[in-house]
Amino acid sequence: MAGVGSVLGWLRAKDAGLSATRRAARAAVVMPAVFAFASLVIGNPVIGIFASFGSMAMVLFVDFTGSMTERLQAQVSLMAAGVVLITIGTLASGSAWIAALVTLVVVFVVLFVGVISSVLASATTALLAAFILPVTLAGPLSSLPDRLLGWLLAGAASLVAITLLWPAPTREPLRDPTAHACALIAKRLRAGLACLRDGPDPAQTEALITSIDEASDAVAALRKSFFGTPYRPTGLSTSARTLVRVVDEVIWLETVLQRHLRVPEPGPVNAQLAEVFESAAVVLERAAELLGSGGDLQLFATAVDRLKRARVALEETVTALLPATNAASGKVVTAFVSGVEPIFRAQEMSFAITAIAENIQLAVAARGRSWWQTLLGGAPTGIGSPLSSVQERAGAHVERHSVWLHNSIRGAVGLALAVLVADLAGVQHSFWVVFGTLAVLRSNALSTGQNALRGLLGTVAGIIIGGGLVVAIGTDTTVAWLLLPIAVALAGLAPAAFSFAAGQAAFTATLLILFDIISPAGWEIGLVRIEDVAIGSAVSLLVGVLFWPRGASSALRQALAEAYSDSAHYLRQTVEYAVNRCDGHSPPVAEPFEEGRRAAAAARRLDDAFRTYLAERGAKHLPLADVTTLVSGVAVLRITGDAILELWNSGDRNPAGDRTAARTELLETAGALVEWYQQTAVALASAGTLPAQVLRDSDGEERLLTAVRQDLTDDDGRWTGTAVRMLWTADHLDAVRRLQVAVAETSGSTVAG
């Protein structure tokens, strides 16, 4: 037992969650069983080949997440897609040039549509395997039924495997970390609330510091989970799409809270502040329950309404407490505004939490729909349809700097070229050329070359081991059958437990044993595969040099530059819309929907470039912590623009007063900040010099206060809600100004790298 425990401990250390071990164990059972049924019972070698490769594709090459129902639905969809791809591949296999052309189109589509959904992205290898095998094994149309039958046999076996053979627990890559982060941020808010109510004694201060550290660690873990896969961990379902918004907003909320650690001093608005803190903590606690073990959606909605009422009451309190213009000088007003700064912090925090709550409500409501409502496509109010989401995600990457587009083109050209070269060269097993290309194709030429070398070394090792076994067992297929499950298990486990080369070796040995059972040929199979994989690796390396010689670092810089430029432009447009809204003294400005979509698209491209950079093997040329900070900064800019829009869209539509002077001050402040971020974007893209930071303009703040005090008051001389929103808009811009420090520091190291 101790030995078994130590083996399991070693596996857990190498294979987090034992996911690779689970796939390998399933494949070791399913693949030989299906192959045996097709070869020995049905007695058809074509069915046997497609059943065996189909088993590896649907059991070993893919591992869907979510509930069991969601995994079965994804598996059935994979089976259906494989039927289509096998049909296309078989029809195109008769001519080398037609096969290459069809491969170019099909592979590009398969790779590119992965940007739409993590389910599609995670199934890419399985889908490509379903196409590569038939397109490289030339066969008449009459062979299509046998090929499809082999694939469907493998598919049926895969459904049984994921349901009955060591079923995986329900895995939600975002829900659990998001729930944990919400719970610990709520704990932090309650610690701050205790200091606010009772005064910051040493014990409460220590508790607050501890809760701050715990919340920061939880958000860092959420960020790691979010960026821990080479593709965005979401699907096309309504709940999955809204959950991604929640992740961005939780990260932004942590940024907001980190900027303002000071506990408010006792004052006249403490009761309203306490209510905001209390209601915000309740919302986050209810959110954690809903995302975790489950909770009451009605109680959650009640908590959200309470938070919204607290925000409105806070605004009204500030409006009532601000000195009347005929009773206070400008210095008195300035001092008062500085004294109630924590109210601005609470407003910013409450907006972020409200946005989180509304998206969680949408996600939970979507998950609670009946299967019939889901089938009919009825989405909760406030979120677009899956089709609109597909258009947005795909449209974001139809752009010449998109990493995903680059990878899709490279992969399509590489595999099409491999198909053409294999057919024209007349190699014995052309599908090995294409599998060799697929296995070693990576994000840049250097990495591709390294993987080509690893692949060849692994292949040689596999031939030595597998070939030795084939020679040793001779014509005794019984021994080969006994060795086949072991080889399959090692092929699934070796890449995670050992290395890429070890996986190649195990996969090679598996194929040698498999083909020795079908048609004994000894060492010849191995020698042929050395030649085939070498050709495939050379094709992959050539494509990497031609299409992306600069690698992921350069593409990441470009994506950062575009994201900062577009997000800063969106921020400026939101400020212009806000300060011109319903003002009769200025021309109307449309709400910046298009600018928001462009900023979101740039953020998606940055997301994929960052994931590619993280997945790239070898030393990182850019400091990872600095890059992570820059990526988070883009989200802060964009969501700050959203916050300003929400602030003004919730206000009066016909405010009194002349906003000309106040509008001018805000636009000048926004313009200077946007110019700085856009110049920084240019420096990131071209490795140029960073601009000087925009410093705090005390005179400009005084002018804004004077303009608001003189122009935006009611008949009694009291400040209006519009006046408060003007100041809160300035506060949002000040947060963007403070963000410069982190962006400038990290941009400097990134430009230098």
The 10 Å CB-count burial string (b at 16+, else e) for 457-495 is: bbbbbbbebbbebbeebeeebeebbebbbebbbbbbbbb
Closest CA to 158 of 41, 49, 72, 32: 72
Closest CA to 401 of 601, 630, 676: 601
Q: Which residue has the higher pLDDT, 3 or 154?
A: 154
Concatenated DSSP letters of 677-713 = HHHHHHHHHHT-PPPPPPPP-HHHHHHHHHHHHHHSB
Find all residues with CB under 8 Å of 257, minimum gap 6, and list them: 185, 188, 212, 215, 349
Q: Which residue has the higher pLDDT, 193 or 228?
A: 193
Closest CA to 733 of 521, 574, 509, 530: 574
Sign of CA dihedral 97, 100, 101, 102: positive
Distance from C-alpha of 753 to C-alpha of 745, rounded to nearest angstrom: 13
Distance from C-alpha of 244 to C-alpha of 249, rounded to nearest angstrom: 9
Residue 88's pLDDT is: 96
Concatenated DSSP letters of 625-638 = HHHHHHHHHHHHHH
232 touches 607 (CB < 8 A): yes
Residue 213 three-state SS: helix
Concatenated DSSP letters of 281-328 = HHHHHHHHHHHTT---HHHHHHHHHHHHHHHHHHHHHHHHHSPPTTT-
The beta-strand segments (E) located in 405-502 are: none
Statement: residue 444 has pLDDT above 50: no
Residue 237's pLDDT is: 53
Distance from C-alpha of 720 to C-alpha of 711, rounded to nearest angstrom: 10
Distance from C-alpha of 176 to C-alpha of 291, rounded to nearest angstrom: 7
303 touches 275 (CB < 8 A): no
DSSP 62: -
**Could you tell me what percent of the chain has a pLDDT over 90?**
13
Q: Which two tokens stand for residue 232?
A: 């965005």
591-601 confidence digits (pLDDT tens): 888 898 889 88
Range 708-733 average pLDDT: 71
715 touches 696 (CB < 8 A): no
276 touches 310 (CB < 8 A): yes
Rounded alpha-carbon distances, angstroms, from residue 294 to 365, 368, 379 = 12, 11, 21
510-555 confidence digits (pLDDT tens): 776 776 676 655 445 545 555 665 665 566 556 555 544 445 677 7
Q: Which residue has the higher pLDDT, 244 or 529?
A: 244
- The backbone torsions φ and ψ at residue 691, rounded to the nearest 5 degrees and listed phi first, read -75, 160
The 10 Å CB-count burial string (b at 16+, else e) for 272-286 is: bbbbbbbbbbbbbbb
Residue 463's pLDDT is: 55
186 touches 288 (CB < 8 A): yes
Confidence tier at 457 by pLDDT (50, 70, 90): low
DSSP 41: I
650-689 confidence digits (pLDDT tens): 655 555 556 777 788 888 889 999 999 999 888 887 777 8
Statement: residue 310 has pLDDT above 70: yes
Closest CA to 264 of 335, 208, 342, 334: 342
Residue 177's pLDDT is: 87
Q: Which residue has the higher pLDDT, 468 or 731?
A: 731
Residue 127 three-state SS: helix
Confidence tier at 750 by pLDDT (50, 70, 90): low
Q: Which two tokens stand for residue 669?
A: 């402040």
Confidence tier at 571 by pLDDT (50, 70, 90): very high
- The backbone torsions φ and ψ at residue 127, rounded to the nearest 5 degrees and listed phi first, read -65, -40
Residue in the block written with tokens 């008195």? 332
Statement: residue 91 has pLDDT above 70: yes
Closest CA to 322 of 257, 281, 269, 245: 269
Q: Which residue has the higher pLDDT, 207 or 542?
A: 207
Beta bridge partners of 719: 713
* Residue 387 CB-half CA count within 13 A: 2
* Residue 727 CB-half CA count within 13 A: 27
In the chain, list all ranges with CATH 1.20.58.220: 175-366
Confidence tier at 448 by pLDDT (50, 70, 90): very low
650 touches 716 (CB < 8 A): no
Q: Which two tokens stand for residue 251?
A: 């990260």
Statement: residue 380 has pLDDT above 50: no
Beta bridge partners of 66: 171
Confidence tier at 377 by pLDDT (50, 70, 90): very low
Statement: residue 53 has pLDDT above 70: yes
317-331 confidence digits (pLDDT tens): 766 665 555 444 555
Confidence tier at 193 by pLDDT (50, 70, 90): confident
Range 411-431 average pLDDT: 75
Residue 171 three-state SS: strand
Q: How far apart are the first and last CA of the chain?
A: 51
Statement: residue 375 has pLDDT above 50: no
Residue 535's pLDDT is: 66
Residue 414's pLDDT is: 79
Beta bridge partners of 637: none
Q: Which two tokens stand for residue 203?
A: 């014990």
Rg, the chain, Cα only: 30
Residue 157's pLDDT is: 94
Distance from C-alpha of 506 to C-alpha of 253, rounded to nearest angstrom: 47
DSSP 441: -
DSSP 716: T
Residue 474's pLDDT is: 59
Residue 371's pLDDT is: 41
Statement: residue 446 has pLDDT above 80: no
Amino acid identity, residue 92? A
Residue 373's pLDDT is: 40
Q: Which two tokens stand for residue 481?
A: 């059958």
CATH of 551-752, one of 3.30.420, 1.20.58, 3.40.50, 1.10.260: 1.20.58
395 touches 274 (CB < 8 A): no
Residue 616's pLDDT is: 58
Residue 719 three-state SS: strand
Q: Which two tokens stand for residue 484?
A: 């086949």
32-45 confidence digits (pLDDT tens): 999 999 988 898 88
94-140 confidence digits (pLDDT tens): 888 999 999 999 999 988 887 776 677 778 888 988 998 888 888 88
DSSP 66: B
* Residue 565 CB-half CA count within 13 A: 15
Query: Mean pLDDT over all residues of the chain?
Result: 75
Confidence tier at 573 by pLDDT (50, 70, 90): very high
Which range has highest mean pLDDT (63-67, 288-292, 615-619)?
Answer: 288-292
Distance from C-alpha of 701 to C-alpha of 428, rounded to nearest angstrom: 77
Q: What is the 3-state secondary structure (H, E, C) of 468-522?
A: HHHHHHCCCHHHHHHHHHHHHHHHHHHHHHCCHHHHHHHHHHHHHHHHHHHCCCC
| CATH architecture designation of domain 175-366 | Up-down Bundle (1.20)
Beta bridge partners of 171: 66
Statement: residue 262 has pLDDT above 80: no
DSSP 584: T
280 touches 350 (CB < 8 A): yes
Confidence tier at 376 by pLDDT (50, 70, 90): very low
Confidence tier at 712 by pLDDT (50, 70, 90): low
Confidence tier at 707 by pLDDT (50, 70, 90): confident
